[in-house]
């Protein structure tokens, strides 16, 4: 079972530094100043005993939480910043006689005003100090192989704490998430946090180009802050085809209490991790791809790790008549687009990959690989059992799976007649066009989402990425702009940080436009650079007969437009420049294009990839290097003290650390 707790900090040597160390230092200085003010009452102001001092620490965490030895902090009762000392000296440096004279001359009214001002200052400093440190949630994961039979066939799967799916990370915006991963399988391991932006912190991103793997028999502690994000996401193992073996789980980030959400709180949150499933071992799938074969079609579908096609199983969800429930839906599969619907009920879309949406109602919704969303379902039908349904899209042999939703106290079985799924591409494209950003709602911050006018920002660069496929040395490979990515023996981020990229990779092997048709595919690490804080348009072109899905780590983007054929500058006339949804994953329909826009303001090394894991494995991915010229902690964190080393950087001295410029 995964253990998580909110806990308060104290001194310790054996745990990682928080990713918000600069803010914590500010908080310490503020606390020291406030405590100094409490210890030195001035000008006759009466005050009660301090409510926080050497023996009490006001923290966002519960006061009943156990102490934390994970993070370094000087004892705040004795710590005093230079600024605090200077302010105190201003009040204590004059002669005693002058001080007594000043006190005698002070009127009662001025004393009251001084007391009030001091109280306001103390409260303000206290509020800042409390806000400066967000709660910590701790998880310990033991990752093992285990035999399970989700499709009725025993197979070796990746389990977390002996469970599949893995534990849900249920948290609040800005929480600090600490995950200690013990790798007890016989392969290197990494977890990536799909949709989590890892602000200034690609060190924790969990992709092979950003981190060294966790080797068998060892452990590594991820230290992340889910900064300024709300919504529905998931995690999964990112090396090779391990994603096809399980090891995934849901991430639910709730809004902070003072920030309203644009709908009434639901009676409960339900997870619905849907996806295709292969019964072949993930190492067998890798061998197929390494020898030029494909992985074929999935054996079936799963909902929350289960394959239930009738009402003979216990209900997965239980509801009460008249109440409304939130379903957090993610397509965690590796190949198939899916359509979801609830028998006899309407779904109301409210959130999509961290953005609040205009609350349109749908009979069914397409969810492409790697995408997440939230819908509200009101239990307003005759009490009974109903099916939650998911089925494949855009393939001839439709595969369908169900889960039972039971009204509390019901013993009426669901109707065997399932709601029909839509067909064709046009329906799906038109539905995508109906998705709208809720401009008046707040997301993770108090300001409305629509206060960011993405359509009014000048585009400084257009990058057009075209997918291609060809045989290279007898093996099928996928490429972006003619380069099929292969991982370097040293993670790209580490090679860049240690200035050791020579002989490992070259920047910008590809241009901003695709090469001429027929250009041979090149195998190499595919790394492009972007100028920090520039607004860039990225166009994906998919010449294949099947749908694709793209994701960019570290960012959310605005999917402004999509259409058939090849993209041209005239295609911008069709863009939605007002209220398209900000998200991290977007589909590209067959022989079509999709255009997204974003500001590259998150320094780091970030993976841009196809979510169709067969294509990803065969090279349809690249890394975006976004560096800040300031080399400042305001823009990017230093390599963490517990950062793993491998390849070319083993034994190299650490570069000069970033500082706050």
> Across the beta sheet with 317-319, what order do the strands follow?
317-319, 400-407, 385-392, 338-342, 365-367
pLDDT band at residue 526 under the 50/70/90 scheme: very high
pLDDT number for residue 16: 33
* Cα 608 to chain centroid, rounded: 14
What 8-state DSSP symbol labels residue 582?
Answer: E
Site of tokens 């042999």: 397
Range 493-504 average pLDDT: 97
CA distances from 552 to 193, 607, 611 (A): 12, 6, 10
Site of tokens 């793209």: 550
**Confidence check: pLDDT of 620 > 60:** yes
pLDDT band at residue 57 under the 50/70/90 scheme: very low
Quote the Cα angle for 180-185-189, to 5°. Answer: 55
CB atoms under 10 Å from CB of 398, counted, come to 12
Q: What is the pLDDT of residues 106-153, one digit of tens each?
A: 344 444 444 444 554 444 444 444 455 899 999 999 999 999 999 999
Nearest to 460 by CA among 514, 512, 510: 512
**Confidence check: pLDDT of 63 > 50:** no
Are 508 and 528 in contact by the 8 Å Cβ rule? The answer is yes
Residue 582 CB partners (closer than 8 Å, separation 6+): 353, 354, 355, 437, 449, 454, 556, 557, 558
Of the given ranges (161-165, 171-175, 274-278, 394-398), which has the lowest mean pLDDT? 394-398
Nearest to 518 by CA among 592, 566, 466, 568: 466
Nearest to 418 by CA among 403, 397, 428: 403
Report how far residue 636's alpha carbon sits from residue 628's, in angstroms, rounded to the nearest whole number: 8
Give the torsion through C-alpha atoms of 67, 69, 71, 72, to 10 deg: 110
Site of tokens 């190499």: 524
CB atoms under 10 Å from CB of 283, counted, come to 15
DSSP H helices, 408-531, are 425-434, 492-497
Q: Which residue has the higher pLDDT, 71 or 533?
A: 533
Report how far residue 599's alpha carbon sits from residue 538's, in angstroms, rounded to the nearest whole number: 11
pLDDT number for residue 14: 34
What are the structure tokens assigned to 659, written together? 């500082």
Q: What is the pLDDT of residues 70-90, one digit of tens each?
A: 333 322 333 333 333 333 333
What are the structure tokens assigned to 463, written together? 């990058």
pLDDT number for residue 226: 98
pLDDT band at residue 539 under the 50/70/90 scheme: very high
- Domains belonging to the chain, first-starting first, are 8-131 (no CATH), 141-254 (2.60.40.420), 262-443 (2.60.40.420), 452-649 (2.60.40.420)
Q: What is the pLDDT of residues 197-237, one digit of tens each?
A: 999 999 999 999 999 999 999 999 999 999 999 999 999 99
Range 297-307 average pLDDT: 97
Q: Which residue has the higher pLDDT, 35 or 174?
A: 174
What are the structure tokens assigned to 597, written together? 């826009």
What are the structure tokens assigned to 444, written together? 């993770």
Are 594 and 561 in contact by the 8 Å Cβ rule? The answer is yes
Range 264-282 average pLDDT: 98
Are 342 and 329 in contact by the 8 Å Cβ rule? The answer is no
Q: What is the pLDDT of residues 370-408, one digit of tens each?
A: 999 999 999 999 999 999 999 999 998 999 999 999 999
**Confidence check: pLDDT of 38 > 80:** no
SS3 string of 82-125?
Answer: HHHHHHHHHHHCCCHHHHHHHHHHCCHHHHHHHHHHHHHHHHHH
Mean model confidence pLDDT for the chain? 85
Range 1-13 average pLDDT: 34
Is pTM beyond 0.85 here? no
What are the structure tokens assigned to 212, written together? 């060294």
pLDDT number for residue 372: 99
**Confidence check: pLDDT of 188 > 70:** yes
Q: What is the pLDDT of residues 335-383, one digit of tens each?
A: 999 999 999 999 999 999 999 999 999 999 999 999 999 999 999 999 9
What 8-state DSSP symbol labels residue 446?
Answer: S
pLDDT number for residue 554: 99
pLDDT number for residue 308: 83
pLDDT number for residue 309: 75
Cis-peptide into 260, omega within 30 deg: no
pLDDT number for residue 132: 56
């Amino acid at each position: 079972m995964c253990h998580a707790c909110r806990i308060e900090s104290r001194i310790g040597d054996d745990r990682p530094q928080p990713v918000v160390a600069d803010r914590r230092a500010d908080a310490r200085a503020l606390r020291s100043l406030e405590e100094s003010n409490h210890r030195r009452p001035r000008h006759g102001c009466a005050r009660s005993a301090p409510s926080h001092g050497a023996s009490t620490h006001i923290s966002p965490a519960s006061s009943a939480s156990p102490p934390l030895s994970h993070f370094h902090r000087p004892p705040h009762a004795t710590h005093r910043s230079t600024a605090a000392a200077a302010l105190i000296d201003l009040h204590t440096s004059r002669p005693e006689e002058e001080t007594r004279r000043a006190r005698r001359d002070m009127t009662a009214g001025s004393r009251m005003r001084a007391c009030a001002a001091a109280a306001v200052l103390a409260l303000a400093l206290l509020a800042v100090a409390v806000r400066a440190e967000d709660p910590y949630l701790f998880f310990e994961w033991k990752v093992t192989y285990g035999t399970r039979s989700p499709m009725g066939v025993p197979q070796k799967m990746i389990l977390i704490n002996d469970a599949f799916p893995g534990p849900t990370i249920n948290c609040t915006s800005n929480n600090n998430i600490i995950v200690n991963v013990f790798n007890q399988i016989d392969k290197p391991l990494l977890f990536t946090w799909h949709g989590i932006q890892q602000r200034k912190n690609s060190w924790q991103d969990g992709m092979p180009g950003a981190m060294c793997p966790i080797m068998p028999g060892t452990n590594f502690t991820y230290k992340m802050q889910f900064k300024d994000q709300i919504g529905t996401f998931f995690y999964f193992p990112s090396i090779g085809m391990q994603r096809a073996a399980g090891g995934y789980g849901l991430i639910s980030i709730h809004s902070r209490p003072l920030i309203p959400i644009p709908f009434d709180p639901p009676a409960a949150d339900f997870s619905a991790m849907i996806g295709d499933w292969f019964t072949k071992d993930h190492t067998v799938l890798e061998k197929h791809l390494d020898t030029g074969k494909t992985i074929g079609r999935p054996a079936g579908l799963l909902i929350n790790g289960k394959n239930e096609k009738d009402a003979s199983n216990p209900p997965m969800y239980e509801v009460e008549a008249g109440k409304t429930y939130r379903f957090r839906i993610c397509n965690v599969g590796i190949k198939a687009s899916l359509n979801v619907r609830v028998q006899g009920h309407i779904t109301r879309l409210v959130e999509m990959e961290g953005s609040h949406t205009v609350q349109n109602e749908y009979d069914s919704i397409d969810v492409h690989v790697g995408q997440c969303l939230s819908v509200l379902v009101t239990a307003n039908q005759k009490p009974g059992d109903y099916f939650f349904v998911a089925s494949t899209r855009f393939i001839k042999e439709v595969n369908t799976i169900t889960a039972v939703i039971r009204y509390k106290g019901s013993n009426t079985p669901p109707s065997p007649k399932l709601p029909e799924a839509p067909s064709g591409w046009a329906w799906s494209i038109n539905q995508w066009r109906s998705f709208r950003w809720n401009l008046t709602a707040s997301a993770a911050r108090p300001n409305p989402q629509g206060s960011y006018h993405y359509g009014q920002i000048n585009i400084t660069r257009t990058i057009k990425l075209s997918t291609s496929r060809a045989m290279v040395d007898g093996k099928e490979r996928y490429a972006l702009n003619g380069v099929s990515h292969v991982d370097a023996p040293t993670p790209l981020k580490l090679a860049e940080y240690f200035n050791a990229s020579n002989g490992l990779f070259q920047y910008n092997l590809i241009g901003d436009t695709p090469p001429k048709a027929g250009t041979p595919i090149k195998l190499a690490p595919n790394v492009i650079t972007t100028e920090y804080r520039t607004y860039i348009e990225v166009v994906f072109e998919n010449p294949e007969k099947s749908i694709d899905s793209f994701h960019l780590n570290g960012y959310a983007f605005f999917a402004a437009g999509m259409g058939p054929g090849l993209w041209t500058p005239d295609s911008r006339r069709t863009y939605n420049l007002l209220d398209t949804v900000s998200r991290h994953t977007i589909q590209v329909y067959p022989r079509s294009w999709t255009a997204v826009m974003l500001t590259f303001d998150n320094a780091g090394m970030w993976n841009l990839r196809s979510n169709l894991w067969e294509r990803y494995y065969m090279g349809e991915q690249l890394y975006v290097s976004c560096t800040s010229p300031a080399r400042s902690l305001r823009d990017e964190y230093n390599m963490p003290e517990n950062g793993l080393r491998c390849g070319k950087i083993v034994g190299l001295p650490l570069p000069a650390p970033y500082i706050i410029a």
